[in-house]
Amino acid sequence: MKAFIKKIFFTLPLLALAIVLQAQQPEQILKASGSPANPKVPVSWNRYNDYAAITEICKKLANAYPDLVKLESMGKSHLGKEMWVMTISDFKKGDPGRKPAMYIDGNIHSNEIQGSEFALYTAWYLAESFADTKHIQDLLEDKTFYIAPTINPDARDNFIHKANTAHSPRSGMIPVDNDRDSEVNEDGFDDLDGDGHIVFMRRKNPNGRLKSDPEDPRRMVTVGVDQQGEYELLGYEGIDNDGDGEVNEDGEGFYDPNRDWAWNWQPNHIQNGAYKYPFSLPENRSISEFVMKHPNIAAGQSYHNNGGMILRGPGALEDVNTYNAQDVQVYDALGKKGEELIPGYKYLVVYKDLYSVFGGELDWFYGGRGIYTFSNELWTQFLLYNKPSDRNAQSEQYSFDRNLLFNDAFVNWKAFKHPQYGDIEIGGFKKSFGRLHPGFLLESDAHRNMAFTLYHAYHTPKLSVEEISEKDLGAGLKEVTAVIANKRLMPTHSSQDLKYKIEVPDLVSLKGAKVIAGMIVSNRDLNIAEEQKNDPANIKVPNIPGNGTVTVRWIIQKEEKYQINVDSKKGGMASRSK
CATH number at residue 19: 3.40.630.10
DSSP per-residue letters across 321-374:
TTS-HHHHHHHHHHHHHHHHHSTT-EEEEHHHHT---SS-HHHIIIIIH--EEE
- Measured between alpha carbons, how far is 515 from 532 in angstroms, rounded to an integer? 12
> 164 lies in a domain?
no
Average per-residue pLDDT for the chain: 92
- Measured between alpha carbons, how far is 466 from 566 in angstroms, rounded to an integer? 11
Are 473 and 503 within one domain? Answer: yes
- Residue 501: burial class (beta carbons within 10 Å; 0-12, 13-18, 19+): exposed
- Measured between alpha carbons, how far is 74 from 148 in angstroms, rounded to an integer? 9
Cα of 346 vs its chain's centroid, Å: 16
Are 86 and 225 within one domain? Answer: no
What is the model's pLDDT at position 19? Answer: 45
What is the model's pLDDT at position 184? Answer: 46
- Measured between alpha carbons, how far is 235 from 242 in angstroms, rounded to an integer? 17
Q: Does residue 512 contact residue 533 with C-beta atoms inside 8 Å? A: no
- Measured between alpha carbons, how far is 49 from 46 in angstroms, rounded to an integer? 10
DSSP per-residue letters across 361-420:
HHHIIIIIH--EEEEEEE--THHHHTS---S-HHHHHHHHHHHHSTTTTEEEEEEEEETT
Running DSSP on this structure, what letter comes out for residue 458? H
pLDDT band at 49 (very low <50, low <70, confident <90, very high): very high
Q: Does residue 143 contact residue 102 with C-beta atoms inside 8 Å? A: yes
Segment 230-247 mean pLDDT: 85
| Residue at 235: amino acid letter | G
Are 522 and 452 within one domain? Answer: no
Are 239 and 147 within one domain? Answer: no
pLDDT digits (tens, 9 = 90+) for 152-198: 999 999 999 999 999 988 888 787 665 555 454 445 688 999 999 99
Beta bridge pairs of residue 483 = 467, 551
pLDDT digits (tens, 9 = 90+) for 89-141: 999 999 999 999 999 999 999 999 999 999 999 999 999 999 999 999 999 99
Q: Does residue 276 contact residue 79 with C-beta atoms inside 8 Å? A: no
Segment 402-429 mean pLDDT: 96
Q: Does residue 522 contact residue 539 with C-beta atoms inside 8 Å? A: no
- Measured between alpha carbons, how far is 578 from 564 in angstroms, rounded to an integer? 8
Are 131 and 185 within one domain? Answer: no
Which backbone phi and psi does 189 adopt, to 5 degrees? -95, 145
Are 33 and 152 within one domain? Answer: yes
> 218 lies in a domain?
yes
> 539 lies in a domain?
yes
Are 234 and 368 within one domain? Answer: no
pLDDT digits (tens, 9 = 90+) for 317-333: 999 999 989 999 999 99
- Residue 90: burial class (beta carbons within 10 Å; 0-12, 13-18, 19+): buried
Does 247 score more than 90 pLDDT? no
Question: Residue 418's CB: how many other CB atoms inside 10 A?
Answer: 17
Are 296 and 358 within one domain? Answer: yes
Percentage of residues in the chain having pLDDT higher than 90:
84
Does 289 score more than 50 pLDDT? yes
Are 247 and 211 within one domain? Answer: yes
Are 45 and 74 within one domain? Answer: yes
Are 453 and 333 within one domain? Answer: yes
- Measured between alpha carbons, how far is 530 from 512 in angstroms, rounded to an integer? 23
**Order of strands, sheet of 477-486, starting from the edge strand that comes earlier in the sequence:** 463-474, 477-486, 548-557, 515-523, 528-531
- Measured between alpha carbons, how far is 430 from 164 in angstroms, rounded to an integer? 9
User: How much is the pTM?
Assistant: 0.93
> 444 lies in a domain?
yes
Q: How many domains does the chain have?
A: 3
pLDDT digits (tens, 9 = 90+) for 302-312: 999 999 999 99
Task: Give the pairing of strands 297-305 and 101-106.
Answer: parallel
pLDDT band at 26 (very low <50, low <70, confident <90, very high): confident
pLDDT band at 392 (very low <50, low <70, confident <90, very high): confident
Which backbone phi and psi does 178 adopt, to 5 degrees? -65, -45
pLDDT digits (tens, 9 = 90+) for 442-477: 999 999 999 999 999 999 999 999 999 999 999 999
**Order of strands, sheet of 563-568, starting from the edge strand that comes earlier in the sequence:** 538-541, 506-511, 563-568, 572-577
Residue 476: which CATH number? 2.60.40.10
Does 363 score more than 90 pLDDT? yes
> 3 lies in a domain?
no
> 163 lies in a domain?
no
What is the model's pLDDT at position 11? Answer: 54
> 470 lies in a domain?
yes
Running DSSP on this structure, what letter comes out for residue 504? P
> 360 lies in a domain?
yes
- Residue 70: burial class (beta carbons within 10 Å; 0-12, 13-18, 19+): middle
- Measured between alpha carbons, how far is 274 from 525 in angstroms, rounded to an integer? 55
What is the model's pLDDT at position 165? Answer: 93
Are 374 and 521 within one domain? Answer: no
What is the model's pLDDT at position 170? Answer: 81
What is the model's pLDDT at position 29? Answer: 87
Q: Domain containing 196: what range?
A: 175-254+382-429
Beta bridge pairs of residue 416 = 424
